Structure 1
Amino acid sequence: MKILTHRIELSTIDPIEFIDITDEIRKWVAAIGARSGIVSITSLHTTARVNVNESEPQLQLDMITFLKRFVARDGNYRHNDVAVDGRDNAHSHLLGLFMTETETVPVADGALVFGQWQSIFFVELDGPREKRTIHLQFMGDAA
C-alpha cells in the first residue's frame, strides 16, 4: 500500500463560491498511477469546505442563495468583535458547521468512483481569498 499526498492551491473571487475541482483530482490520481484505494480531499480552512454534489450551474446558484439565506452575513455575532484577522466572518464559520472539511472518494480500476452526476467542489464561505489550499491524500495500490 502506498500513501501519497498533493496540494491544490487556488484563489476565490466571490463571498460564497463553488469551485469544481474534480478534473484536477482525476488528473492527479492518473498521474500517480492509482489503481485502487481511497483519496481524501481536505480543506485546510475553517471557512471553506469540500463537498460532493452535482455540477449544474443553476443548482450551484441555488446552493449559494440557500447558504446566504440560511445564515445571515449581518447577524450580531460575537466572533466578529474578536476575529483574529479582522474579518467579519462569523457567518462563514457557522455555515461550515453544516458541511465537512473532508470528503473521501474510492478509487477503483484507476478512476474515481462516482455516481453519474457527482463532482467534487471546494466551497468558499468567506471570500474572496487570494490563497486557499486543499490537501489530497491517496492510500492504496499505485504504480
Structure 2
Amino acid sequence: MLFLCEHLPLQTTAPIEILDITDRVRKVFDQHRIQNGQVTVCSAHTTAFIALNESEPMLQQDMLDFLIRLVPSDAPYRHNINPVDGRLNAHSHLLGLFMNASETIPVVNGELLLGGWQSIFFIELDGPRAERTLRVQIIGER
C-alpha cells in the first residue's frame, strides 16, 4: 500500500483566478501509478480552493463573473476594518464558504476516474499570490 503526499507550488496573477491543474495532478499520479485507491487534491489556504468542473473558456468566465457578483469585494466587511495581513480579503473568505478545500478522485484499474468533462481546478480568491501550495495525496495499491 502506498501513502504519499506531494506539495506543488503555484503562482496566481489575478484577484480571482481559475487554474486548470488537471495535467499537474496527472503528472504526479503518473509518477506513482497506483492500480486502486484514491488521489486527494487539497489547497493549503483559506482563500483558495479546489473544484471539479468543465474546462471551457466561456464557462470559466461565467464562473468568474458569478463569484464577483455573489460576494462583492467592496462591501463593508468587518474583517477588512483591521486585517491581520493587510489584505482586504473578507470577500475571499466568504466565497470560500461555498467551496471545498479538497477533492478526492477514485482510482480504479490504474485510471483516475474523472468524468468525461471533468477537470480539476485551483480557484484563487485572494490573488495575485506569488506562492500558493497545492497538496496531492495518493493512497492505494500498486
The answer to whether the superposition gives a TM-score over 0.5 is: yes
Partner of 1:2: 2
Q: Give the letter for the 2:95 counterpart.
A: L
| Structure with higher strand content | 1
Secondary structure in 1 matching 2:100: coil
Runs of 5+ unmatched residues, structure 2: none
Q: Find the counterpart in structure 2 of residue 44 from structure 1.
A: 44
1:55 match: 55
CA contact (8 A) 1:29 1:111 kept: no
What is the CA distance between 1:114 and its match in structure 2?
1.1
**Aligned length, in residue pairs:** 142
What does 1:1-143 align with in structure 2 at a 5 Å threshold? 1-142=1-142
Identity %: 54
Q: CA deviation at 1:82?
A: 2.4
Taking the aligned partners of 1:122 and 1:100, their CA distance within structure 2 comes to 10
Q: Distance in 2 between matches of 1:31 and 1:77?
A: 44
Equivalents in 2 of 1:107, 1:33: separation in Å? 10
Report the AA paired with residue 15 of structure 2.
P
Scaled by the length of structure 1, what TM-score is found?
Answer: 0.97
Q: Distance in 2 between matches of 1:137 and 1:87?
A: 30
Q: Is the 8 A contact 1:72 1:91 kept in 2?
A: yes
**Runs of 4+ deviating beyond 6 Å:** none
